[in-house]
Structure formats: C-alpha cells, structure tokens
Amino acid sequence: MASCCPPRPGERSLADLQQISAVLAALADPHRLWLVCNLAGRGGPATLTQASSCCGVHLSGVSRHLGKLRAVGIVEAHKQGREVLHRLKRAELAQTLRDLADWLDAGAPCAEAQPADHNP
C-alpha cells in the first residue's frame, strides 16, 4: 500500500509501522528475547556457543533465532577467524522501542494509506 502524501510530523508511515512490527515479532519469541537479553548483558559480541548458554536451546536453534534477529536489524554478525561473533545493536533496538513508546504517548496518527492500485 502506498501513502497518498508524506506523513505529517509525528505521524508514522506504513514503512515505519512495518519495521516496528517486524522487530516486535522477532522479540515475541521467548527464546529470541532471552538471547537479546543475554547479548545485552554481555556488553560485547558473543560466539554462537556463548550466546546459547542462556536458553537451553540446541545450537542450530540458537543459530536460527540469531538469523531472525539479524534479519530485522537488531543483531549483527561478523567473522573473526573461525568464529562468528554476534552483537546486539543495542542503540538501534532501544531507538525503535523508544520511537514506538513516544508515538503511543503522543497519540500520533498513522499516515493515511491508500490501496495499492490507487494512482494519485
């Protein structure tokens, strides 16, 4: 769906809401949320084995969970030697959650969306 006009100040566009929704969906799984908390508590990057120490899930499951967190942009991974280090993008996650809370507190409306076949 496309918006007929750009959002006014304080409004959220459909793209904004889709990004926030994707992050919330990723955090809705208790194992992924536990991983996020574990990575946040470490204060730095963790290997797959280190990250998995928190939640009693097999390494392959933790790897899939980390992949979903990477896909929504709240975890990043980089290879160091033979290992892959996973880091929580704490500032980005916190900003997304703050934006949502601020938007809800302000009672700001969503930008009006038009059907996909609408041609202004």
Cβ proximity of 16 and 26 under 8 Å: no
Q: Which two tokens stand for residue 30?
A: 């208790």
pLDDT band of 114, cuts 50, 70, 90? very low
- Token code pair at residue 95: 């900003």
Residue 118, pLDDT score: 47
**CATH code for residues 29-100:** 1.10.10.10
pTM above the 0.95 mark? Answer: no
CA distance 32 to 15: 23
pLDDT in tens, 12-60: 677 888 889 999 999 999 999 999 999 999 888 999 999 988 777 889 9
Residue 3: band (very low, low, confident or very high) from pLDDT cuts 50, 70, 90? very low
Q: Which residue has the tokens 């290992």?
A: 83
Average pLDDT, the chain: 83
